[in-house]
A and B are shown apart, each in its own frame.
Chain A
Amino acid sequence: MKENQKTYWKGIEQLTNEPSFVKNAEKEFPEYLPINENGEGSSNRRDFLKLMGFGIAAASLAACEAPVRKAIPYLNKPVDVDPSIPNYYASTYVNGGDAVSVVVKTREGRPIKIEGNKFSSMTKGGTNAQVEASVLSLYDKERLVGPKKAGSKIDWETLDKEVIAKLGEISAKGGQIRIVSNSVLSPTTKRAIGEFTANYPTAQHISYDSSSAYGISEGNRRSFGTSMVPSYDFSKAKTIVSVGADFLGTWISPIEFTKQYSQTRKISAEHREMSRHYQFESNLSLTGANADYRTGIRPSQAGPLVAAIYNGIAAKAGQAKVSGGNAGDIAHLTAAINELWTNRGAGLVVSGSNDPVVQVLVNGINAMLGNYGATINVNAPLHFRQGDDQAMSSFVKDTNAGLIGAVIFFNCNPVYDSADGKALQAGLAKVSLKISTSDRMDETAALADYVAPDHHYLEQWNDVELRTGHFSLVQPTIAPLFSTRQAPETFLKWSGKTVEYYTYLQDNWRENFFTKQTDTSNFQTFWDKTLFDGVFETGGNSQAYTFDFSAVPAAATSIAQNYKSNGTGLELALYEKVTIGNGSMANNPWLQEASDPITKTTWDNYLTVSQAQAEEWGIKMDDGTTEKVTLSVGNTSVSLPVLIQPGQAAGTVGLALGYGRTSAGRVGNEVGVNAYPFITKLNGANVYDVFAGVSVEKTGESYRIAQTQTHQTYMGRANVIQESTLGEYKKDTKAGREYPLIYKEGEYIKPSKITLWKGHEYNNHHWGLAIDMNSCTGCAACTVACQAENNIPVVGKEEVLNRREMAWIRIDRYYSSDAPVDDLKALEKASENPEVTFQPMMCQHCNNAPCETVCPVAATTHSTEGLNQMTYNRCIGTRYCANNCPYKVRRFNWFKYHDNTKFDKNLSMNNDLGKMVLNPDVTVRARGVMEKCSMCVQRIQAGKLAAKREDRRPKDGEINMACASACPADAIIFGDLNDKNSRISQALKIQEKEDGQGATERVVEEDRAYHVLEEINVNPNVWYFTKIRNKEKQSTEA
């Protein structure tokens, strides 16, 4: 190249380097320019006007913000990045004590969608709402863009210097240093923290969890000698008894448990067995909603109830009984005990209580039943909840006593989300050095002297040990957006180690984990393979544990002392919502707007109150309009709205944690009330129940709660929900089915036999969905997955109140009613303790689509592959299609939701950073057009193209909808109905049959499969499978 570079001279004078040339060479205009030609050299009036004119014009031009529309091709294209071709990277979602192995989809270097990692033996590709939403948090404008000192900018170097100096000073004086965090799952991070504590001898690491499982680990310490949360296997349990544990929604490892649990709920003509699930709880949880038998109990009954189960089993097992208080008469208790005993070794008793003594008894029950080693594995304990409530309490006490010199809050926010937040806030004033690694100025970081923001999990290298011997790698999918630094690297730096964390991580793996495998002797190969898979398993430990019964009597005595339920007075049960969780992701609008699976509310928390209680208080709830009350416990009181909740146990009220943030950001601030101050202490652990001293006073203030569904029951409509019991199903696989018939010319015929339509021919593919209502738990992962995949806007509370939420897939939640089917008024009221049915509802892609005929401009049409497709460009927005949709799944863009300051909570469409999360394959819809589920047509198209490039047919399972892929219960099957061997065809048992007139007809032979609203013969491509409950008899008519 070099020798080809020629030099061109401007003229001979350059070559000869004449002095006159050289003098002017650097000037823009080497020749003399006649600018000030009017003699005197001063400007006159004309010049003034000219200049002013130019100045004004230039200033106003500069004021016009010209949109930046850069389209720059890669000069040097990165090897892995092809425009429009997505890349997938295995990584791990980490948020506090929660971690899930995921696969991150990136487009042009931007992570845009999180999928579950199918290689993980724990979550097996399942996700939940929070995992799906986490990608939006990466692009949160309110993350800190760099380190801060007392609220103002500082650079890392200065920060390091100052912090190291201060830490050294405190340490030298013998001042106590604490690192406070949630459960740390990363072994390498723990090692880095270890280096830090080694460097500063007075340093200690304290972990706590906002939703603590300290009771379980402490209970296990008393039972087995080791603090741990064992792993559970619900898939092997025939009888499941849960006392207040919301294991499908929020308890410890809900995705994993849902995966396992759903396996026991899948039934077919060949396999007519399913688990039986008893739930005893105060609030109606997601898990309770899925239980076969659910009994409402007061929180104060939970201890005695566990003791009663213990005694019941002990009587059968010939063990000594204990006196654990009186639980009173509890429905289904005896049946549960008997069944547990019958299914010894194939049952599971779990309790959501955080009281160690209750957990000791639960352990005792499982030990007597021989469930250890079968459904509970103590050799591979889960690492999600390692928090120590007692250590945290004493830390808070120490701060108030002025014993702490420095504290580092490592990605945690205890001022907001710990039981002692208020005390901590007061105590922090006495701590001389406070540092936070939070990604934003949260409640705790706001009080810190220094904030050294950590990377988002999608920007960092790390590792995670989900349970003993089960590792998952975190790999960055984008370069850090801001000047943040990984917290463990920060700790290393402050310990005097200047090592890049990536190297540190690899070194740790080389030393500790590489040696635990024998597949390869080359570390790089091992590393690459692990990185590709995302997960690495070595198996649990082989320590022998034996249950120690000696702790049981003391535990029972403690229960008898503390759990005194006299059946009167109000009790409060705190819980976490499936969507918003502990509130750490409160600034994520996808989670705020995701409809709570049970209450169907968005953007709020509220006091859940039983129907009887509300009647007693004279509070009515109509179309979301309710009243505010004042809830007081001791000195703490809040004013909050009441939500009437069927299934709420008598004498109890419920309140969700995770709301009432004050420094989360514009989305999360001032949404709901903070319930953390209501946490109480019992036996050294944080307990989320308040047994006494709860009072509620009416304020008379009216309030509207934004619900996406305001009608609770399905009005006995068998064309919507078809359900039965396992007993009936065993006798007849058509149990619960309704076959509508239409009278025509003297005979009753199937609705499909009368039609105006000629039908469609699908010569290539015919896409369809099969949805198993028996395995769907209603967890809302699909809803958020769809939101991320399909660029669905967030509309905010006001618009949800206006019933204009945009979700393409919603989960209809129906309660049963006690009323007879012909009493249409009474049917509107749910039972006190209703049966719950979840029905995911999205565009049914009708073959005789009512929407398609009525569109005046043919903007919605049928594809040659069975999809009902929406052409946004063509839509003029008459909304006739939405009116004529019997399933009401069409969504209209009432306003312009993108680039509109009125919808600034719609983060993904209203700022340049947020827009990075948009899926470039899906149009952002304009104002005034209709939209709806497209069956992820962009994924179908991508899958077909990939197959075409390889000159083959698309393989079944290769193309999957976002909802189906997210579903932790595998309740949604997507596939090609034309492919006889596809999972959907198999599930529906599709047969080709002669119709008697020479033509063949496709028949769905599966007895459980039905079309919602079959009688109007819109002939959907979506089938539902009947809901079967493992009950003796159907409790109600409707």
Chain B
Amino acid sequence: MQVTSSVRTPLITGGKTVHDVTEDICRQVEGKPSKSWLLGMGMALTAFGIGFIAVAATLWEGIGMWGLNKTVGWAWDITNFVWWVGIGHAGTLISAVLLLFRQKWRMAINRAAEAMTIFAVICAAMFPVLHMGRPWLGAYWALPLPNTFGSLWVNFNSPLLWDVFAISTYFSVSLVFWYIGLVPDFATIRDRATGVRKKIYGALSLGWNGAAKAWSRYESVSLILAGLATPLVLSVHTIVSFDFATSVIPGWHTTIFPPYFVAGAIFSGFAMVLTLMLVTRKLFKLEDYITIEHIGLMNIVITITGSIVGIAYITEFFVAWYSGVPAEQYAFFNRMQGPYWWAYWSMMTCNVISPQLFWFKKIRTNIAATFIISIIVNIGMWFERFVIIVTSLHRDYLPSSWAMFYPTVYDMGVYLFTFGLFFTAFLLFAKFFPVVNMAEIKSIVKSSSEKQTA
């Protein structure tokens, strides 16, 4: 065990004992669903249901239900896809990278962040399938499966195919990582439970017995998975950015995209984690585990990544000017002054200006401010993808084909569907799974906990 200096601010407040941790976290799992939970679930299911109508209409009638056209072939679909993938970045970053960097403050938030990652990636994965003209074929033709069509094979040159690999790898690793982490906690719940619950949690805990050997293996697996997941954090959004960067469309064809997208993803992911954590913390009374300290640290990450994103925006403009390519220059002129200027300036305000407020400690440690800014950042990041996708496409090379994109209720409905899906899944997780990693938290109760005052 490491020794933590006493001058460090404690990671757990309220003088919690190991038993307190178990009680505090298991309370949600074992108790009856609260009213606020039921209300949230009701809202999530409503969104899911309404959204499902839009999804069903799209599948039944065709992509024409959306507002896309001959010029703008992707809009809300891929915007939402990249947005959700971006959100799905924080979980792995927090669990894997911070684990490798031995940042203990991650322990309180990594479970929920990873859950969020998994649900966000599921939501993201809806779009590549739903946006296809023929998803019933595309869902498996996009995979390099042996087939009886002769020598028919996927096109390994296509960034969309790389996406398939990137997302599926990321999803599997994240899922395994998350589940492995859950095993000891499931065992804790199992040991406290009776009846059917005991059976279910027993099955979920895969026969965990808490033996030293089991812990040792658990730690090695965590480390290995963290090592595997770390490059994925960088690779997923790098590859997503290739969808654009490898194209010939001005505004897409940009070499800065990989780092810029990764920074943006962490930026939005952290913001989403904050949004969710602040609510969970309040509802589940986890103020002692997710402290102001955590929030402050995450806000710092947001400021850093937000600044990287801001610099990337400016760099794009500089490169457009420096390249001397008129089409490129027009694309960026059009972002600022074209018909979609409002989207561009929304993005700039939300992503570049708002996180700079976190330079002030007062704002950084203010829960309400953090909550508002975290939502603003996510709105801004949605606009960033919208700006990149729609404003680049709607006015590219031949002015004859310039067109506007107007979303329909079905575009919105499908987006709503993913929200419904996400929150339904997240609320189920919050209710039935331990939202904080008890096992890990217990390991730092001694070293990093606030001493009991009473």
Cβ contact of A876, chosen from B61, B138, B247, B248, cutoff 8 A: B138
Most buried by A among B135, B395, B398, B404: B398
Q: Is A598 in the interface zone, CB < 8 Å from B?
A: no
Q: Is B199 in the interface zone, CB < 8 Å from A?
A: no
Cβ contact of B74, chosen from A717, A720, A879, cutoff 8 A: A879
| Cβ-defined contact, A877 with B400, below 8 A | no
B336-358 vs A, CB cutoff 8 Å, 1 = contact: the mask equals 01000000000000000000000
| Cβ-defined contact, B249 with A855, below 8 A | no
What residues on B are CB-neighbors of A804 within 8 Å? 64, 69-70
> Contacts A887-B398, A888-B396, A894-B62 known; A857 to B134 CB distance under 8 Å?
no
What residues on B are CB-neighbors of A839 within 8 Å? 400
> Contacts A717-B326, A856-B142 known; A896 to B68 CB distance under 8 Å?
no
For B128, give the chain A residue with the smallest CB separation.
A878
Query: How far is A805 from B70 in the complex, measured between Cα atoms in Å?
Result: 8
| Cβ-defined contact, A856 with B158, below 8 A | yes
> Contacts A804-B64, A855-B155, A927-B62 known; A710 to B402 CB distance under 8 Å?
yes
Q: Is A713 in the interface zone, CB < 8 Å from B?
A: yes
Query: How far is A855 from B246 in the complex, measured between Cα atoms in Å?
Result: 12
What residues on B are CB-neighbors of A717 within 8 Å? 326-327, 397, 399
| Cβ-defined contact, A894 with B398, below 8 A | no
Determine, out of A506-514, A632-640, A722-730, A1011-1019, the stretch whose residues face the partner at the interface: A1011-1019
A74-99 vs B, CB cutoff 8 Å, 1 = contact: the mask equals 00000000000000000000000000
Determine, out of A33-41, A388-396, A417-425, A810-818, the stretch whose residues face the partner at the interface: A810-818
| Cβ-defined contact, B396 with A853, below 8 A | no
A888-903 vs B, CB cutoff 8 Å, 1 = contact: the mask equals 1011111110000000
Q: Is A850 in the interface zone, CB < 8 Å from B?
A: yes
B309-325 vs A, CB cutoff 8 Å, 1 = contact: the mask equals 00000000000000001
What residues on A are CB-neighbors of B396 within 8 Å? 886, 888
Query: How far is A882 from B69 in the complex, measured between Cα atoms in Å?
Result: 10
| Cβ-defined contact, A825 with B155, below 8 A | no
How close is A459's CB to chain B, nearest CB, in angstroms?
37
Q: Is A875 in the interface zone, CB < 8 Å from B?
A: yes
What residues on A are CB-neighbors of B333 within 8 Å? 824
| Cβ-defined contact, A858 with B326, below 8 A | no
How close is A315's CB to chain B, nearest CB, in angstroms?
46
| Cβ-defined contact, B134 with A715, below 8 A | no
Query: How far is A1015 from B325 in the complex, measured between Cα atoms in Å?
Result: 9
Cβ contact of B63, chosen from A805, A858, A894, cutoff 8 A: A894
What residues on A are CB-neighbors of B249 within 8 Å? 883-884, 886
> Contacts A855-B155, A879-B74, A894-B63 known; A710 to B132 CB distance under 8 Å?
no
How close is A580's CB to chain B, nearest CB, in angstroms?
22
- Interface bin, chain A: 35 or more
Q: Is A630 in the interface zone, CB < 8 Å from B?
A: no
| Cβ-defined contact, A854 with B399, below 8 A | no
Q: Is A926 in the interface zone, CB < 8 Å from B?
A: yes
| Cβ-defined contact, B402 with A878, below 8 A | no
How close is A810's CB to chain B, nearest CB, in angstroms?
7
Query: How far is A802 from B405 in the complex, measured between Cα atoms in Å?
Result: 9
Q: Is B29 in the interface zone, CB < 8 Å from A?
A: no
| Cβ-defined contact, B155 with A858, below 8 A | yes
Determine, out of B13-21, B85-93, B159-167, B445-453, the stretch whose residues face the partner at the interface: B159-167
| Cβ-defined contact, A720 with B399, below 8 A | yes
What residues on B are CB-neighbors of A812 within 8 Å? 398, 400-401
Query: How far is A1015 from B161 in the complex, measured between Cα atoms in Å?
Result: 28
Q: Is B131 in the interface zone, CB < 8 Å from A?
A: yes
Is chain A's interface secondary structure helix, strand, loop, or mixed overall? loop
What residues on A are CB-neighbors of B69 within 8 Å? 802-804
Query: How far is A945 from B157 in the complex, measured between Cα atoms in Å?
Result: 34
* CB under 8 Å from chain A, chain B span 278-329: 325-327
Q: Is B152 in the interface zone, CB < 8 Å from A?
A: yes
* CB under 8 Å from chain A, chain B span 69-92: 69-71, 73-74
B123-151 vs A, CB cutoff 8 Å, 1 = contact: the mask equals 00000100111110110011000000000
| Cβ-defined contact, B134 with A856, below 8 A | no
Query: How far is A895 from B326 in the complex, measured between Cα atoms in Å?
Result: 36
| Cβ-defined contact, A927 with B154, below 8 A | no
| Cβ-defined contact, B248 with A850, below 8 A | yes
Cβ contact of A720, chosen from B142, B152, B398, cutoff 8 A: B398
Q: Is A930 in the interface zone, CB < 8 Å from B?
A: yes
Cβ contact of B133, chosen from A803, A841, A929, A1018, cutoff 8 A: A929
Q: Is A194 in the interface zone, CB < 8 Å from B?
A: no
Q: Is B153 in the interface zone, CB < 8 Å from A?
A: yes
What residues on A are CB-neighbors of B160 within 8 Å? 854-856, 878, 880
Q: Is A397 in the interface zone, CB < 8 Å from B?
A: no
How close is B75's CB to chain A, nearest CB, in angstroms?
10
| Cβ-defined contact, A926 with B134, below 8 A | yes
Q: Is B49 in the interface zone, CB < 8 Å from A?
A: no
| Cβ-defined contact, A857 with B155, below 8 A | yes
Q: Is A666 in the interface zone, CB < 8 Å from B?
A: no
Query: How far is A1015 from B250 in the complex, measured between Cα atoms in Å?
Result: 12
| Cβ-defined contact, A877 with B247, below 8 A | no
For B139, give the chain A residue with the smallest CB separation.
A876
How close is B148's CB to chain A, nearest CB, in angstroms?
14
What residues on B are CB-neighbors of A1015 within 8 Å? 325
| Cβ-defined contact, A927 with B400, below 8 A | no
How close is B359's CB to chain A, nearest CB, in angstroms?
36
Q: Is A874 in the interface zone, CB < 8 Å from B?
A: yes
Q: Is B41 in the interface zone, CB < 8 Å from A?
A: no
Q: Is A714 in the interface zone, CB < 8 Å from B?
A: yes
| Cβ-defined contact, A714 with B399, below 8 A | yes
| Cβ-defined contact, A880 with B397, below 8 A | no
| Cβ-defined contact, B133 with A893, below 8 A | yes
| Cβ-defined contact, B137 with A896, below 8 A | no
Query: How far is A711 from B403 in the complex, measured between Cα atoms in Å?
Result: 8
| Cβ-defined contact, B62 with A883, below 8 A | no
Query: How far is A167 from B365 in the complex, measured between Cα atoms in Å?
Result: 101
What residues on A are CB-neighbors of B248 within 8 Å? 850, 884, 886, 1016, 1018
Cβ contact of B137, chosen from A799, A876, A1018, cutoff 8 A: A876
Q: Is B393 in the interface zone, CB < 8 Å from A?
A: yes
Q: Is B257 in the interface zone, CB < 8 Å from A?
A: no
Q: Is B67 in the interface zone, CB < 8 Å from A?
A: yes
For B324, give the chain A residue with the smallest CB separation.
A743
| Cβ-defined contact, A854 with B63, below 8 A | no
> Contacts A803-B403, A876-B132, A883-B74 known; A894 to B68 CB distance under 8 Å?
yes
For A876, give the chain B residue with the smallest CB separation.
B138
Q: Is B330 in the interface zone, CB < 8 Å from A?
A: yes
| Cβ-defined contact, B402 with A850, below 8 A | no
Query: How far is A805 from B400 in the complex, measured between Cα atoms in Å?
Result: 14
Q: Is A227 in the interface zone, CB < 8 Å from B?
A: no
A987-1000 vs B, CB cutoff 8 Å, 1 = contact: the mask equals 00000000000000
Q: Is A500 in the interface zone, CB < 8 Å from B?
A: no
How close is B318's CB to chain A, nearest CB, in angstroms?
17
Q: Is A709 in the interface zone, CB < 8 Å from B?
A: yes
> Contacts A876-B138, A892-B133 known; A857 to B68 CB distance under 8 Å?
no
> Contacts A850-B247, A856-B155, A874-B152 known; A892 to B398 CB distance under 8 Å?
no
A134-166 vs B, CB cutoff 8 Å, 1 = contact: the mask equals 000000000000000000000000000000000
How close is A72's CB to chain B, nearest CB, in angstroms?
32
What residues on A are CB-neighbors of B137 within 8 Å? 876
| Cβ-defined contact, B154 with A895, below 8 A | no
Query: How far is A719 from B74 in the complex, measured between Cα atoms in Å?
Result: 26
* B residues whose Cβ falls under 8 Å from a Cβ of A: 61-64, 67-71, 73-74, 128, 131-135, 137-138, 141-142, 152-155, 157-161, 164, 243, 246-249, 325-327, 330, 333-334, 337, 393, 395-404
17 contacting pairs across A/B (C-beta < 8 A)? A714-B399, A802-B67, A803-B71, A824-B337, A853-B157, A857-B141, A880-B74, A883-B74, A884-B248, A887-B398, A888-B70, A888-B71, A888-B396, A894-B64, A927-B62, A929-B133, A929-B134
Given contacts A804-B70, A883-B74, A1015-B325, could you give 11 more A-B pairs where the C-beta distance is less than 8 Å?
Answer: A623-B403, A710-B403, A841-B398, A856-B155, A876-B133, A879-B131, A880-B243, A882-B70, A890-B70, A929-B134, A1018-B248
